[in-house]
Amino acid sequence: MAAIVEPAPAKINLALHVRRRRADGYHEIESLFAFLADGDVLTVEEADRDGLAITGPFADALGGEGTNLVATARDAFAAAFGAPPPLAVTLDKRLPVASGIGGGSADAAAMLRVLARRRDIGLDDPKLIACAARIGADVPVCLLGRTAFGAGIGGDLRPVDSVAGVAVLLVNPNVAVSTAAAYAGWDGGDRGPLATGEPIAAARAGRNDLEPAALRLAPQIGSVLDMLAAVPGVTLARMSGSGATCFALFDTAAARSAAAAAIRAARPDWWLLESTLA
């Protein structure tokens, strides 16, 4: 088998409404998911034995193979469909860890896509989607990989109009935020549903209900949001997921690049990614 190079694009929550906490501990949400043109990258090839190597700027932030969601996805696929041949996997970890942009979930979904294609299994196969859901709440939408409205615990998905081509800037103050801690800090108030209709308009009318809890865990998020909201050309600035990564959408790529240059100059210690929505 020739080596397969599979992208694992970053995911952002254009809006995230938390509606209630369920008896099983999960939270019912409504979210508008979108994906970037950039993210982590998997390279997969047949080998004498299974292996996972992690490279890239955020490799040191990840645990070993036994705790990595790529290995979890490989094992979950084997349990559902039968073991694949031994595979050597290299994960180029370009996205920060525990940052609200679905890095680990995107990596797991990329592994599932590779394994499914090798078996001629459709990405809409119910067994594959169930496999993704068992790995994590964001893995099904990362498997789908397109703009979608999500409900339930995130796996009840409805594709919506594409937002491809919109200029976006991600900024993380190099702080990790625990998803569990952010949800635990949610105040329990249901502030209403997410709007339907054109995705960007629905996002601008929405909110991120985890933002107050994340700000208490990582006050630096407030500085990021203030800086993003103040740059010229921004049409929406918000925290993604449980943080600490924030995003800004721009009316032009030039405005995005100018904002990135200004923020890099002011805060060289922050992580930035210039991209577009896919």
Which positions are annotated as active-site residues?
A: 11, 138
Three-class secondary structure of residue 202 per DSSP: helix
The DSSP bridge pattern shows strands 27-46 and 87-92 to be antiparallel
Q: How far apart are CA 72 and CA 81, in angstroms?
A: 14
Please give the Cα distance from 234 to 227 (Å, whole number): 11
What SS3 string covers 69-130?
A: HHHHHHHHHHHHHCCCCCEEEEEECCCCCCCCCCHHHHHHHHHHHHHHHHCCCCCCCHHHHH
Determine the Cα angle at 52 with ends 36 and 116, to 5°: 60
Helix/strand/coil percentages in the chain, nearest 5: 35, 30, 35
Cβ contact 168:256 at 8 Å: yes
Residue carrying structure tokens 């800086």 = 227
CA dist 235 and 267 (Å) reads: 22
DSSP structure string for 121-163? --TT-HHHHHHHHHH-TTHHHHHH-S-EEEETTTTEEEE----
Whole-angstrom distance, CA of residue 188 vs CA of residue 259: 35
The H or E element spanning position 227 is helix 220-230
